[in-house]
Amino acid sequence: MLFAIDGDAGLPADEANALREAIVERAREQVANVVCVERKWMNLPAVVFDRMEAAHLAVSHLIELGHRRIAYVGARDDRLIGYRNTLLAHDLAFDEQYILDDRSSNTPEDGYRHARAFTRLCPKPTAVFACSDEVAIGLVGGLQEAGWRVPEDVALVSVDDIPFASYVRPRLTTVHVPTAEMGAYAVRMLHDWAAHPDQPPVSVVLPIQLMVRESCGASARMQEVERLQPSSSLVP
């Protein structure tokens, strides 16, 4: 079984991709049946989620909340494409200065480091899409140190829904990725491939869903709307 190979070891994009492909080829030489998880490589069978759709769900939610200047923090992959496409679909400009990435590997350290650059953006973004929960956790820490509040000063949505997402404060609004189901599917695919080696490789895309919590500010906004609405009463 082969899990996603992230990070770039500080190499240029083309060299990093060549290194990843070399690792994949080495795995295929050593292991008869290989199934990719989270990321598809070459013609190997894979169990993945749609990263572009994850970005679409996250950014669309921020737009529905009224945000128009939305930054992106994390590695440049299909999530960045989904972010850009969603902005354009809503007639919002794509601004390269709002893309914070320096060949990061989507770790809390990356998010923390990008927080300082984020606070210097002008015009100031009102929301940010972090391409992973780990990036989001580091970003929140860095922003809080700089005196920014989430979601009062900037709304935040991320991707993964790792266990810590519902325990950090604020609790992360994030796109749930079914990692447990991915592992189960991968094991099943390995079993089926070993039993039927002549069958062509098949890939599976599992569904994802948005988990609305605190970091996007949606719950606070709904409470404010309810507070401003006049209460109804029955007239005898």
pLDDT in tens, 164-187: 999 999 999 999 999 999 999 888
Q: Give yes or no: residues 107 and 193 share one domain.
A: no
Give the pLDDT mean for 24-51.
Answer: 80
Q: Give yes or no: residues 59 and 163 share one domain.
A: yes
Token reading at 167: 């325990």
Q: Is the pLDDT of residue 230 over 60?
A: no
Q: Is the pLDDT of residue 62 over 60?
A: yes
Q: Examine residue 231 and state whether it is found in any structural domain, yes or no.
A: no
Q: Give yes or no: residues 33 and 134 share one domain.
A: no
What DSSP element (H or E) covers 2?
strand 2-3
Q: Determine contact, residues 111/118, Cβ cutoff 8 Å.
A: no
Q: Examine residue 230 and state whether it is found in any structural domain, yes or no.
A: no
Q: What ranges in the chain are assigned the alpha helix state H?
A: 13-30, 51-64, 78-89, 108-119, 133-145, 179-195, 218-228
Residue (of 167, 172, 170) closest to 211 by Cα position: 172
Q: Determine contact, residues 70/49, Cβ cutoff 8 Å.
A: no
Residue 8: its pLDDT value, please?
A: 54
Q: Give yes or no: residues 58 and 158 share one domain.
A: yes
Across the chain, mean pLDDT equals 86
Of 230 and 211, which is predicted with more confidence?
A: 211
Q: Give yes or no: residues 129 and 66 share one domain.
A: yes
Q: Give yes or no: residues 185 and 167 share one domain.
A: no
Provide the number of structural domains found in the chain.
Answer: 2
Q: Give yes or no: residues 196 and 145 share one domain.
A: no
Give the pLDDT mean for 117-136.
Answer: 97
Whole-number Å distance between alpha carbons of 1 and 34: 5
Of 74 and 191, which is predicted with more confidence?
A: 74
Of 228 and 74, which is predicted with more confidence?
A: 74
Whole-number Å distance between alpha carbons of 5 and 21: 10
Q: Give yes or no: residues 161 and 200 share one domain.
A: no
Q: Give yes or no: residues 60 and 75 share one domain.
A: yes
Q: Examine residue 235 and state whether it is found in any structural domain, yes or no.
A: no
* Confidence grade of residue 11 (pLDDT, cut at 50, 70, 90): low
Q: Is the pLDDT of residue 226 over 80?
A: no
- Which residues form the domain of 146? 51-176+209-220
Q: Examine residue 198 and state whether it is found in any structural domain, yes or no.
A: yes
Give the pLDDT mean for 74-101.
Answer: 95
* Confidence grade of residue 23 (pLDDT, cut at 50, 70, 90): confident
Q: Examine residue 45 and state whether it is found in any structural domain, yes or no.
A: yes
